[in-house]
Amino acid sequence: MPKRFTCLSLLLCLYSSTTFAQKTINGYISEKNSGERLINAFVLAPYVNKGTTSNNYGYFSLVLPTDTATLIFSYAGYKPYQVFWESGTASDSTFAVGLVKQTDLEEVIITSSRIQKNVEQTQMSKISVPIELIKKMPKFLGEADVLKSLQMLPGVSQGIEGTTGVIVRGGTPDQNLILLDGTPVYNASHLFGIFSNFNASSIKNVDLYKGGFPARYGGRLSSVIDIVLKDGDKNKFHGEGGIGILATNLQFEGPIKKGKSSFIISGRRSYADIIAQPFIKGSSEESGIDKFFAYFYDFNLKLNFDLTKKDKLFFSTYSGDDMLKVKTKYEDRGETEKISTQVGWGNFINTIRWNHIFKKNLFANTTVNYTRYRFLTNLSQSLQSASTNETFFAKYISGIYDVGTKIDFDYRPSASHSVKFGVGVIQHTFTPGATTFKQTGSGSTPLDTAFNNKRQNSIELSGYIEDDIAVSENLQVNVGVHLGAFRLKQKLTLIFSQELVHDTCSIKRAV
């Protein structure tokens, strides 16, 4: 046989042995006691120099070049878990790993040589903030605040002193994309910006992207704040609460069906109006204040169900409002004048998500959401006497109402190659500022008018693809493109700007 055929046969044998012998292992990483999914947990196969991390739903997929491997699962604050994986056993089903919290710190020895290779990522300007760290940070008026904690990070500053406005590298607070379980939040502040909308006790993970954010995010220029709520304890019931100077909060979680489904419910309300009520009543004769309401509240509810080993269903809802209402009453010489002023704003968000594993290396998340932000101002005045009965009413309301759906795919053909892609559509309904005036009475001209109350409807389309691949041992590239289209009044606008195109190349030293 000629030598060239011998060499060719040898190459084909080597290729088949290195390509077709690859096995894929996938599964979920969670906390063992509660079943809470762990985000960005590490999976490492040290003897073959392969590794990956879990996504926002605790799912991981790792391609190994051998039929057997030693795997190490680790997460900050938890004991590492080591297991010997063998093809034909765990590879035929979804791999479920439960990590245990580490209460005692063992002896740490630092040496100059590293035996294991760290898990690398190309994403720049990303900071994952542990929620336990947020709870331990100094509290303003007794409240742990997520956005105030982010203001202490490098590259981030606050706007007006004492407020929750996040300014990232010269941007403005409205240029930040704030996501709550994948749904945008249009106004993330309470009490004129003093507190944020997010109850720290119900949050699982916070990721901040300060620049060059991945192609899967779009619609804002400055930064991305991705907040994920807890799923709830699947094994036992428990709760927690706290009392601050201006607000109190309470949380309760537990299993619906043990080991299969769970819920978590939390609420928070301020009570400044309750504390101030006795003082206001004492001075009501001078100020004329009859009733006074000034409060904010938050309500979170999340349910999650393990339908099958490959299907998981989540439902989450958030409701939060600010309300300032003052009623005054004046009586003089048989005339009674009543004035009622109300200012309020708030968010209402509902999200349904379905996780499905198509193959061991293909994960999909389908989301259907509804979000509503509304700002409302009311003013009513009445004047009554023996000969007069006049009333005046003015109302201003503006808001944004969104109904959307999207599907995101996570495909990992190899340990050094990850592809994310997806599409989405949002139906926007805008109320720019509807104003109503009404006036009645014997001594005034009747008035009943409304203007600017026509709603504007538009459709937003988006699609993206993002590729993260290790070209060589020292070169890893993340490249992606995000396309958007916005339709308003029969006009279609394509969005393809530099801010929405993510093209990052990161060169790293082998460690």
pLDDT of amino acid 426:
94
% of the chain at pLDDT higher than 70:
82
**pLDDT value at 419 more than 50:** yes
Confidence band for 305, pLDDT divided at 50, 70 and 90: very high
Model pLDDT for residues 113-145, shown as the tens digit of each residue:
444 444 456 777 788 887 877 777 777 766 778
pLDDT digit string (tens) for 344-366? Answer: 999 999 999 999 998 888 999 99
What burial letters (b/e) apply to 290-323, b meaning 16+ CB within 10 Å? bebebbbbbbbbbbbebeeeeebebebbbbbbbb
Confidence (pLDDT) at 452? 77
Instruction: Check residue 169 and give left, alpha or beta (phi > 0: left; psi -120 to 50: alpha).
Output: left
pLDDT score of 444 more than 80: no
> pLDDT exceeding 90 applies to what percent of the chain?
21
What average pLDDT does the segment 402-414 reach? 92
Q: Is the pLDDT of residue 420 over 50?
A: yes
The amino acid sitting at 464 is Y
DSSP 115-177: SSPPPP----SEEEEEHHHHHHSPPBTTB--HHHHHTTSTTEEESSTTS--EEETT--GGGEE
Under the banding of pLDDT at 50, 70 and 90, the label for residue 276 is confident
pLDDT value, residue 370? 95
Q: How far apart are the C-alpha atoms of 484 and 481, rounded to whole Å? A: 10
Instruction: Of 104, 113, 196, 183, give the one whose Cα is nearest residue 151.
Output: 196
Per-residue pLDDT at 196: 85
183 burial type by CB count under 10 A (0-12 exposed, 13-18 middle, 19+ buried)? buried
C-alpha–C-alpha distance, residues 302 and 223, integer Å: 26
pLDDT at 405 exceeding the cut of 90: yes
Q: Kindly tell me if the per-residue pLDDT of 368 is higher than 90.
A: yes
At 320-352, the pLDDT tens digits run 999 888 888 887 777 888 888 889 999 999 999
Task: Please give the pLDDT value at position 211.
Answer: 77
Q: Using CA atoms, how far apart are residues 343 and 299, in angstroms rounded to an integer?
A: 20
Report the 3 state secondary structure along 284-353: HHHHCEEEEEEEEEEEEEEEEEECCCCEEEEEEEEEEEEEEEEEEEEEECCEEEEEEEEEEEEEEEEEEE
Q: What is the mean pLDDT of residues 284-294?
A: 70
Mean pLDDT of the residues in the chain: 80
**458-483 confidence digits (pLDDT tens):** 999 999 999 888 887 778 888 889 98
For 216-228, the pLDDT digits (tens) are: 888 888 889 999 9
Element spanning 418, H or E: strand 417-440
183 contacts 351 by C-beta, under 8 angstroms:
yes
Q: Is the pLDDT of residue 172 over 90?
A: no
Question: Measuring CA to CA, how many Å separate 202 from each of 209, 228, 263, 417, 427?
Answer: 21, 9, 11, 34, 29
Phi–psi pair at 233, nearest 5 degrees: -75, 125
Q: What is the pLDDT, as a whole number, of residue 264?
A: 94
Distance of CA 464 to the CA centre of its chain: 19
Asked if 29 and 99 count as a contact pair (C-beta separation under 8 A), the reply is yes
Better-predicted residue by pLDDT, 495 or 453 = 453
How confident is the model at residue 162, as a pLDDT?
A: 64
In this structure, how many other beta carbons lie within 10 angstroms of the beta carbon of residue 283?
10
CB atoms within 10 A of CB 507: 11
Distance in angstroms (rounded) separating the CA atoms of residues 1 and 8: 11
Contact in structure between 201 and 252 (CB atoms under 8 Å): no
Region 66-92 average pLDDT: 77
Query: What per-residue confidence (pLDDT) applies to 506?
Result: 35
